[in-house]
Amino acid sequence: MFDIDNIRNDFPILKQIVNEKPLIYFDSGATSQKPQVVIDSLKHFYTNSNSNVHRGIHTLGDRATIAYENSRNKLANFINAQAKEIVWTKGATESLNLLAHGLSNILKPGDVILISALEHHANIVPWQQLCANTGAILKVIPLDESSQAIELNTAQQLIDLHKPKILSISHASNALGNIQPITDIIKYSKKYKTVTVIDGAQAFMHLRPDMITLDCDFYVFSAHKALGPTGLGGLYGKYEQLNALPVYQTGGEMIKSVSFEETVFAQAPGKFEAGTPNISGVIAFGCAIDYMNKIDFSEQKAYENELFVYLQQQLENISGIELYGDLVQNIGTISFNYKKEHPFDIATLLDQYGIAVRVGSHCTQPLMKSLNIDGTVRISLAFYNTKNEIQQFITHLKQCLSLLD
């Protein structure tokens, strides 16, 4: 049985009182909360093992290196990949920049990079820059007006039309929660040997992606959206393709040998990890993965879905509320507006009740434009939320809306 009381006990921040009310944290899409084991791991590292990795002959150096590489193994097992296929980065943003930089040599002027209308700015701007530098053209799979989702057949038509060199699409939308039909899209784009990049920042914790099943070339994510510390993320790449990418940043750690005449780079993943990495973060993220592994995934999914359906029904019962996005294939994120009220006003009032939601354009300005809105109020749930929190939220939301009417 999915034991929500035990789970909540593992997240100390959830016990907090905010504005004299128990915190209701509905902003896990921005960053997830961290279980005690992750917090303890950071303290434990600096108390007992603090040392640099891949350098020391001494005991602490060894300890740090073993724990650091062990986290890579844990992540590899978690996503069904090999450790050498995983690069630690600062986050999904850095992983996407690394790819946009590294894939420049496969492009010539006129080649197409295909993305979707639901992308976060982190999966738009690096490709735009790459187009500006190479003469490639950015094309977008549009949002279907009625479903407010990317339709597979539209994606397939555009893949046939453009034969893109690169396709970069989110596994799940941060603004609307839509789970995108990426497995079919990846499969279809093999027809043209398109390099497939998946932005898994939102999906990672909710969907636990499997690299063999997905069969994409690259997958990026952020640790902080999956119970881990901030300032850390990852890039998965099929080894041959990963290793073939040119180096991104240069300096110490990423080399095999250096003379004043010439440098020989290390093989992947080392060649993409220049400088001292986020050692404590990587080790703590290993603990986050252990934590996720202890939760039965099918129970987690069922529980998250129950919360989502309940929230959706409750919101639909409030007249004047408009919900956006795919409300069936969804990671547990709902965006809404109330009449013509500014989302910011709603969130400010909710904060008085200790309720944390996100408002604005969610770093998806082009998506907001497609929806003809400036922004939304976004609730992004996680498995540590409860039905009771949703009830509290709905009660207070109604109070807030009555003040605005």
Q: Which residues bind ligand PMP (CB under 6 A)?
A: 91-93, 120, 122-123, 170, 174, 199, 201-202, 222, 233, 363
Q: Which of 216, 287, 363, 400 does the annotation list as catalytic?
A: 363
Q: In whole angstroms, what is the distance from residue 285 CA to residue 23 CA?
A: 24
Contact 249, 275 (CB under 8 A): yes
Q: In whole angstroms, what is the distance from residue 6 CA to residue 393 CA?
A: 22
Smaller CB separation from ligand PMP, 220 or 401: 220
Q: In whole angstroms, what is the distance from residue 29 CA to residue 358 CA?
A: 9
Smaller CB separation from ligand PMP, 333 or 385: 333
Smaller CB separation from ligand PMP, 92 or 377: 92
* Shortest distance (Å) from residue 198 CB to ligand PMP: 10
Q: In whole angstroms, what is the distance from residue 87 CA to residue 219 CA?
A: 11
Contact 225, 38 (CB under 8 A): no
Per the listing, tokens 């180096």 go with 247
Contact 45, 66 (CB under 8 A): no
Q: Which amino acid is at 119?
A: E
Asked whether the bond before 269 is cis by omega within 30 degrees of 0, the reply is yes
Contact 332, 379 (CB under 8 A): no
Contact 229, 223 (CB under 8 A): yes
Q: In whole angstroms, what is the distance from residue 159 CA to residue 194 CA?
A: 9
Q: In whole angstroms, what is the distance from residue 222 CA to residue 199 CA?
A: 10
**Cβ count near 228 (within 10 Å):** 33
Smaller CB separation from ligand PMP, 114 or 349: 114
- 153 class by beta-carbon count within 10 Å (0-12 exposed, 13-18 middle, 19+ buried): exposed
- Cα-Cα-Cα-Cα dihedral sign, residues 379, 390, 208, 224: positive
Q: In whole angstroms, what is the distance from residue 207 CA to residue 278 CA?
A: 25
Q: Cα–Cα–Cα angle for 171, 144, 208, nearest 5°? A: 15
Smaller CB separation from ligand PMP, 123 or 314: 123
Q: How far apart are the first and last CA of the chain?
A: 43
Whether 363 is a known active-site residue: answer yes
Smaller CB separation from ligand PMP, 88 or 353: 88
Give the H/E segment covering residue 180.
Answer: none
* Shortest distance (Å) from residue 249 CB to ligand PMP: 16
Smaller CB separation from ligand PMP, 49 or 95: 95
Smaller CB separation from ligand PMP, 219 or 353: 219
Q: In whole angstroms, what is the distance from residue 126 CA to residue 137 CA?
A: 13
The residues assigned a catalytic role are 363
